[in-house]
Amino acid sequence: MPKVFVQKYNPSCNFNGLGQQADSSSKKNKKQKILDFLEKSKIPLFPKEIADKLGLNHSTVKSYLRILAKEGFIKRLEGGRYCSNITYGVIRRLLIHNLRLKIEAPFLRDMPKIPDDDEYYGDVHLWVKYGKQRGLVTGGIAYDKGLDQAHVLLLMRRIYELVERKTGHKVERFRITTIEWNRDFFGKRLDNREGISCFTIGEFEHYLSRLYQKSEHTVRVEVKTIRE
């Protein structure tokens, strides 16, 4: 793991590196409060979350976060979340190597057999199988090097498009049956074959945005139910 240089913020300093007078006492207290909160947080946070937890104005928090990031005390991550330098060394976004899902489709029992889909986009493999007897659609996405959130969602929508076009039924929810997170920093895979709760596309997007690697053997995710 690369070494992380952690610079300690000193709110008692009267001047910044440009020789200009520092913020007022009130502003320094808010700034330090935000930094302390991030250093204690176990997960990266969005500005709105920090503002709500600390009871501060959202715009004020965003302003101080930009300042702290520019000064090098915190890091701005993909998607607009922030974390402190203390936790940045062990927080890594994950890439998805393999994903399998199922969609309940009892209407398939009353339909003629539908040919399966098997598509390739370079080395990315996408497949969909229509189980007439079981009334179940199964599908998957696989890419050995791992896919980021945007590409996974694009391929998920492609699965939706194929299923809805061939069956004439709108897909409401799906269940993840297997997901392999390709750990891009440590070069290993972490598998979850116990299944994850049913999702809509919007809920799954939120799930992916909250997924990160806390340490070599720990993956954390904070999932909140949201509407499409």
Residues 66 and 40 in one domain: yes
- What value does the CA radius of gyration of the chain take, rounded to a whole number of Å? 22
pLDDT at 145: 83
Query: Which pTM does this prediction carry?
Result: 0.56
pLDDT along the chain (228 residues), means of 10: 43 43 64 88 85 93 91 80 67 75 96 97 97 96 87 95 96 88 50 66 80 53 39
Residues 124 and 182 in one domain: yes
User: Model confidence over 1-52: pLDDT tens digits?
Assistant: 444 444 444 544 444 443 444 445 667 788 989 988 988 886 788 999 999 9
Spell 176-185 as b/e; 16+ CB within 10 A means b: bbebbbbbbe
Q: Which domain holds residue 113?
A: 95-221
The verdict on residue 187 lying in a domain is yes
pLDDT at 95: 78
The verdict on residue 7 lying in a domain is no
pLDDT at 112: 96
Alpha helices per DSSP H over 20-173: 25-40, 47-54, 58-71, 85-88, 149-167
pLDDT at 204: 86
Residues 200 and 167 in one domain: yes
pLDDT at 220: 52
Return the CATH number at 61.
1.10.10.10
Residues 33 and 99 in one domain: no
Residues 65 and 105 in one domain: no
Cα 112 off chain centre by: 39
